[in-house]
Structure 1
Amino acid sequence: MIASVLINNYNYATYLTECIQSVLDQSYSDIEIIVYDDGSTDNSLEILSKFKNIKVISNSNYGKGHNLNQINAVYQAFKESKGEFIFLLDSDDYFKKEKVEKVISFFKEHPNIDVIQHPLEEVDKDSNLLHTVVPVLKKVQNYKEYIYETESIYHLFSMTSALAFRREYLKKAFPLDEDDFSYMCVDTRLMIVAALQTNILTIEDTLTYYRKHGSNAWGKLGDLNNHEDYLQDLYGFFNKIAKENGNRPISYSYNKYIENTYFYNLVDSKKCMRFIQNQHARRYYIWGAGEAGQSVYHALKDKGLNFLGFIDSDERKQNCLVMDKEVFSPASLYDKDNIYILISPFHAYETIATILKNQNYIENEHFISPYMED
C-alpha cells in the first residue's frame, strides 16, 4: 500500500533537508514524496534538486495569503499523488522514524476511520527538544456529537504535520473553497469537514516534531487579538460547512468557550483553595495568560480569592489586561517576596517549575499545578 507524503514549502530552505530526510528514513518503505514549492525566493529549489527520489512541483507564488496558498499547495500535491494513505507535512517540521508505519497500522485496524491525528513534540529552530507537546487534544469518540452537545470546537484538532487521511476522503473533501476565513488553515478546514462527514481517530503518540521558530502561523495565535479573531473564524467556518451538509449552526460565546476548554473541567478547586489558604501572604498569580490560565481563573473566580494577575513569558501579552487582570513578566516578580503561583500550561509544567526552582521558589509551597492528579 502506497503512502503519499505531501510536503508544502515556501522559503523554508533551512529546514527542508531534515524534513525530507525524515520521510526517506521511515521504517515503512512504500512511500512517495511530493513537494509543492510555492515560488520560494530562497535556495529551496537548489536543495530539492539534490533529492532524486522525490517529485517536486514548482510554481510561482499563489499570491493569496498564507492560508489559501497552503490550501492550494496541498491540493496540487494531492492531485499528483497515488497513495491510498495521504500524510501532510509542513516543510519546517519532520516525522519520527516510525510515524508512517504506525499510522497505517491504525488505519488497517480501524477500517471505518478516514482520518487519523495525533499531538506533536516541540523542537526549536535547531531541532533541540523543548519538552512540550502540542496541541492539547480532548479525548473525543464522536466529534460531530461532541461539537453539537457542547457547541465547542476548540482543542479538537491537531496541526497539518500530524494529519493523515484515506485517499477516498480527500477526493470528496477537495477542492476546498477559497473564502474570507483568513485564519482557517488547510488542517482546520479538512478536520472540520471530517468531523461533519466521517470518523476521526486521535492517537496519543507524538509521531511528528513541530518546529517552533517564531514565524509559524500557529505561534501567531498567541497574540490575544489574533486569538479572538481566530475563534470567530473558527465558528464561522464551521457553520458554513454545517449548512452545506444540512446541519444546524452553533453559536459562540466566551463563557461557553472557556467552560468547554480542555483545562476548565480539570481544575481542582479544593486543591487550589487548600494551597492558597495555607499561605499567609496574598500575592496570588496564575502563570499563563492564554486559554489555560483563563480557564483556571474562570473556574476559581467565584471563590473569593484575590488574584493579582497573570504571569506570562510571551512579551505580546505582558502589560495587557486579560479578564480585567494585568499580565506580568516573570522577571518582574522574581525579586518580590511571598509570591504564590498556579501554573496553568498543562504540558509545560515541568519546564516552568524548573524556572521557578532556579529562582528559589519551592514546589507545593510557592507554586503548584491547579489540576486534578491522574
Structure 2
Amino acid sequence: MKDFVSVIITAYNRQKYLGYALNSVLNQTLDKDKFEIVVITNFEFNKPNYKNIIDIYDNQEYLGEKIYKGLHESKGDIICLLDDDDMYREDKLERVTSFFKTFYPIYYHNNFVTIDDKGNEIKIIEEYLKIPPYASFNLPEFTLAIENNRKTDIRNLLKLNVNFNSSSICVRREILENNAQYLRKIKAVIDSFIFYSSLLLEGNILLDPARLTYYRIHTLQTSSGNTKNIKEYKDSFSNLFKKAVEDFYIITEMLNGKINENILEIVNEELLRYKLLYKIFSGNNILIKTKFNIHLLNYYLLSLLPTFLGNLYIKDQYNRTKKVRSFQVKSSNIF
C-alpha cells in the first residue's frame, strides 16, 4: 500500500521493554489507519486491543529471519524497524510519511536520544566500542538529502551514523524484498545490511536531524556489551563480533558484481575491522587474507598485544562503558 507504514518490532527472550516500544507506536500522531504494527517474539505478551497489530511467534534468534517473516506478513510500502528496547517519539511516523512524500527517499535515517534502563536521557561523554565502532551519536543539524546514493562518498556517510541503530531506519519495501534471500541469513548487523542493500537500488538517502528515536543503553544490550561483569562483557562482544564477521561475508556476497569497487573496498574494510575486533575480544586467531589497511591501524596494533595487555585494554573499555551508562543528563523520566 502506497505511503502506508509497517512498523516491525522484534524481541527475543526479553519482555521487559516491549510494552514501552508498543505504546510508543500506538501513541503516534499519525492517523491509525495509515500504519500497522508487526511484532515478532518467542514469548507470549499482552497484545493491545488494536486492530492493526499482527503478532508472529518465531523462536529463531537471528534478526534477519525475524524481519523477513515480519515483512512477509506486512503490507506497508514504507518499512520502519523498532527494537524491543527502543521507542519512537510520538510524531515520528507523521514526520517520516511527510518526508517520504516530499523527498521520495529509498532509505531514511533519523537522529536519536540516548536513554538509560529507566528511560532517563543520558549523554555519551566518551567513546566506547559499539556496533559499528566508528558510529557517532549525532547527525548534522540540518536535513541532508543525498540524491544519487550510488555515487556519493560512502565513507563520509558512515561517519554520519547512517548505518547505525535499526530503530532509526525506514526504507522502501523493495529494498528488503529485492534482497530477501540475503536478509534471512543476517544474524546481527541488520542496520548495516539494510544500508548496503539500499545502494543496490538507485534513489535518495535522507538523513533527518530530528531525534525521533529513543535508543536505550542498558545492562543486557547486545550492541554495546553486557555489563553485568567483565567476563560477560568480553563474551558478549566476542559473540557479537563473530556474528558481524559472518554477516559481512553475506553483505559482500550480495554486493559482488553489482556495485562499484570503491564501495566494495569499504565493505571489505568493515569485514576486516570486525575480524580484528573478534580476535581482540575472543583471543582466537582468525584468517585475515587482505592487504594492510591504514584506517585500521589501531585495531591491528591491539590484535597483536600479548593476552594480559589485551585484557587490560578490555577492562578499561568495560569500565568506560559502565561510566557512560551511569551519567544522566536529567533526573526526570521520559515515560
Give the structure-2-normalised TM-score.
Answer: 0.63
Q: Is the 8 A contact 2:56 2:70 kept in 1?
A: no
Q: Give the Cα separation in 2 of the matches to 1:214 and 1:33.
A: 30
| Displacement of 1:145 | 3.4
Greater length-normalized contact order (CA 8 Å, ≥ 6 residues apart) = 2
**1:12 and 2:10 equivalent?**
no
1:102, distance to aligned residue in structure 2 (A): 0.8
2:207 to 198, 202, 207: 202
Residue 165 of structure 2 corresponds to 159
* Distance of aligned partners of 1:140 and 1:129 in 2 relative to their CA distance in 1, 3 Å threshold: same
Aligned length: 262
Query: Which residue of the partner structure matches residue 55 of structure 1?
Result: 53
* 60 and 104 in structure 1: CA distance in 2 versus 1, 3 angstrom threshold: closer
Aligned match of 1:35:
38
Amino acid at match of 1:127: G
Match of 1:46 in 2: 45
CA distance in 1, matches of 2:66, 2:249: 23
* TM-score under structure 1 length normalisation: 0.57
Q: 1:213 to 1:135 in 2, by over 3 A?
A: same
Shift of 1:328: 10
Match of 2:192 in 1: 188
What SS does structure 2 have at the residue aligned with 1:218?
coil
Of 61, 72, 78 in structure 1, the residue corresponding to residue 71 of structure 2 is 78
- 8 Å Cα contact 2:68-2:180 kept in structure 1: yes
Give the CA RMSD over aligned residues. Answer: 4.0
3-state SS of 1:202 partner: strand
Instruction: Calculate percent identity across the aligned residue pairs.
Output: 21
1:173 touches 1:190 (CA, 8 Å); kept in 2? no
Distance 1:153 1:327, change over 3 A: closer
Distance in 2, Cα, partners of 1:22 & 1:144: 34
Could you tell me which residue of structure 2 aligns to residue 115 of structure 1? 107
2:94 matched residue in structure 1: 101
Instruction: Report if the CA contact (8 A) 1:19-1:94 is conserved.
Output: yes
TM-fit CA distance, 1:129: 1.0
1:250 to 2:255 alignment:
no
1:124 touches 1:211 (CA, 8 Å); kept in 2? yes
Change (3 A) 1:140 1:237: farther
Contact 2:86 2:214 (C-alpha < 8 Å) held by counterparts = yes
Q: Aligned AA for 1:189?
A: F
CA distance in structure 2 between the aligned counterparts of 1:235 and 1:130, rounded to whole angstroms: 31
Question: 1:79: Cα distance to partner?
Answer: 1.5
Kept in 2, the 8 Å contact 1:116–1:203? The answer is: yes
Structure whose alpha-carbon radius of gyration is higher: 1
Name the amino acid aligned to 1:192: Y
Q: Name the amino acid aligned to 1:188.
A: S
Query: Is 2:217 aligned against 1:217?
Result: no
Q: Is the 8 A contact 1:120 1:134 kept in 2?
A: no
- Classify 1:31/1:211 alpha carbon distance in 2 versus 1 (closer, same or farther; 3 Å): farther
What is the letter of the counterpart of residue 58 of structure 1? I
Cα deviation for residue 158 of structure 1 reads 2.6
CA contact (8 A) 2:80 2:170 kept: yes
| Structure (1 or 2) with the greater helix fraction | 2
In the alignment, is the contact (CA less than 8 A) between 1:13 and 1:47 conserved in 2? Answer: no
Instruction: Find the counterpart in structure 2 of residue 124 from structure 1.
Output: 116
Q: How does 1:203-352 map to 2 (within 5 A)?
A: 203-220=208-225, 236-245=249-258, 247-248=260-261, 249-250=264-265, 319-320=312-313
How far apart, CA to CA, are the structure 2 residues paired with 1:216 and 1:237? 24
Q: Is contact 1:94–1:209 with CA below 8 Å preserved after alignment?
A: yes
Which of 24, 27, 50 is the aligned partner of 1:25? 27
| Residue 5 of structure 1, CA deviation | 1.2
Give the unaligned 5+ runs of structure 1. 258-294, 299-316, 331-347, 355-374
Q: Find the aligned partners of 2:7 and 2:86 in 1 and give their Cα distance.
A: 13
> What letter matches 1:9 in structure 2?
A
- After superposition, the Cα gap between the structure-2 partners of 1:321 and 1:114, relative to the gap in structure 1 and judged at 3 Å, is closer
Equivalent residues of 1:36, 1:76 under 8 A apart: no
**Are the aligned partners of 1:140 and 1:146 in contact in 2 as well (CA < 8 Å)?**
no
Q: Compared with structure 1, are the counterparts of its residues 10 and 235 closer, same or farther at alpha carbon in structure 2 (3 Å cutoff)?
A: closer
- 5+ residue gaps, structure 2: 125-134, 227-232, 274-294, 299-309, 331-335
Question: Residue 80 of structure 2 is aligned with which of 63, 77, 87?
Answer: 87
